[in-house]
Amino acid sequence: MSDEKMPQRPDGLGSLPRVEVEPTPVPGAGSAPASGDDAPKHAAPAGETVKHTVVKTRTKKLPVFLAALGGLVLGAVLVIALVMSGAFRITDGNVEASSSTTKNIQIDPEDTTLAETVAAKAQPSVVSITATGDSQNSGGIGSGVVLDTEGNILTNNHVIEGATALTVSMGGESYEAELVGADPSSDLAVIRLKDVDKKALAPIELGDSSELAVGEWVMAIGSPFGNEQSVSTGIVSALYRSTALPSTGGTSIYANMIQTDAAINPGNSGGALVNDRGELIGINSIIESYSGSSSGVGFAIPVNYAVNIAEQIIDGKTPVHPYLGVNLTSVNAMTARRNGLGVTEGALVVSVVDGGPAAAAGLEANDVITKIDDSPVVSADGLIIALREHNVGDKVKLTVVRGKDSKELEVELGSDEALQAENQDVSSGDAAGNSMTEEEFLRYLEELMGRGSASPLG
């Protein structure tokens, strides 16, 4: 089902060749995806050697001699000029620089570029994460952001998923880390450093992603291709981009993401997107690319949402999401004809959970949801993404087609905490695959991925 033209998470760096002058074996361990196959599609197999030839050329001796002679003459003239001007003082013992030429070099903040200032402030808060799994090809390299002096680091779930050991590189030092908790549905996770001096930690300053504007300057910081502490700059290209991608735990919902043209590549996952004040505004997570590398279309999970999930994890809570209490499938021409529906697109209610928010609002099986508030709903996953853009307790207006009639119902969204505990979250509809056969689930994913064009980073 995967296609090289489909978007992907920039993942798995263990098998990606690094450029070396001398032949170097490519390490096979420590690089596999958080979900499925995280390695770039064109990565060299483990053990492959990348060879580059260094060509040395001969130089004719006469031109070299003439050039050297000319340099000596010019140097002599320069020294004489400096002595005459007093810049150098020749004594019996040494040649000294005159005190009049000594200057204290100071950096004027007004002369420092914006990128330099932001990088100096935010880089110490961004770390590189190496996840190691049981098998030789499992694990990967990603990035993370220091949240507090307790050593809690926010990253993507697909960076650390399936890892048996976590190593964090920060400030030139390496530390072991442990998993605090994860929310695969949001593709977010928190890890914590072991035995780290609090003085070595530089928690990042948080911004407000709700105040972002298209065109605003941003910087991405992370470890693309394992190159730690790399920065790239760009702008906010768009806001409120949403998609859903299959993961080993079902489906990850990416709602209201920040789109940027700052270069984001495999290894940037979990790293920081900061504003011109060095404040965290997003967690870099997805790129849209035919090649799996930066195409200038990257996406970050907004900091307001990401930190909210992280705080729940740190507090030992189960991250909760809006819950409707229905089982859904997408409506298309085939399902419309088979079920005698009056519309050819929307989210068809297969069943309603007794006592859930949808049941309380009057939703019934075979209803087709065509709008949430004033936004059209064209598929089941479209409704799921739209729900994720709300909070537990929010009231939403659903436009429903029942038979030949259309009506509006108000629903107060519940919490999926209890269902997560039972691992039976039907609020995610078909995406969770709870009531579908394998064939139906694969068909759903094909439909989903056919529309999507994003992929997770590594």
158 is catalytic: yes
Q: If we measure between CA atoms, which residue out of 176, 187, 169 comes closest to residue 248?
A: 187
**Active-site residue, 2 included:** no
Q: Which of 158, 169, 289, 455 is catalytic?
A: 158
| HEC assignment per residue over the chain | CCCCCCCEECCCCCCCCCCCCCCEECCCCCECCCCCCCCCCCCCCCCCEECCCCCCCCCCHHHHHHHHHHHHHHHHHHHHHHHHHCCEEECCCCEEECHHHCCCCCCCHHHCCHHHHHHHHHHHHEEEEEEECCCCCCEEEEEEEECCCCCEEEECHHHHCCCCEEEEEECCEEEEEEEEEEECCCCEEEEEECCCCHHHCCCCCECCHHHCCCCCEEEEEECHHHCCCEEEEEEEEEEEEEEEEEECCEEEEEEEEEEECCCCCCCCCCCEEECCCCCEEEEEEEECCCCCCCCCCEEEEEHHHHHHHHHHHHCCCCCCCEECCEEEEEECHHHHHHHCCCCCCEEEEEEECCCCHHHHHCCCCCCEEEEECCEECCCHHHHHHHHHCCCCCCEEEEEEEECCEEEEEEEECEECHHHHHHCCCHHHHHHHCCCCCHHHHHHHHHHHHHHCCCEECC
Q: Which is catalytic among the residues 125, 209, 237, 269?
A: 269
Q: Given 11, 38, 183, 187, which residue is catalytic?
A: 187
- Annotated catalytic residue 187: yes
Which residues have a catalytic role annotated?
158, 187, 269
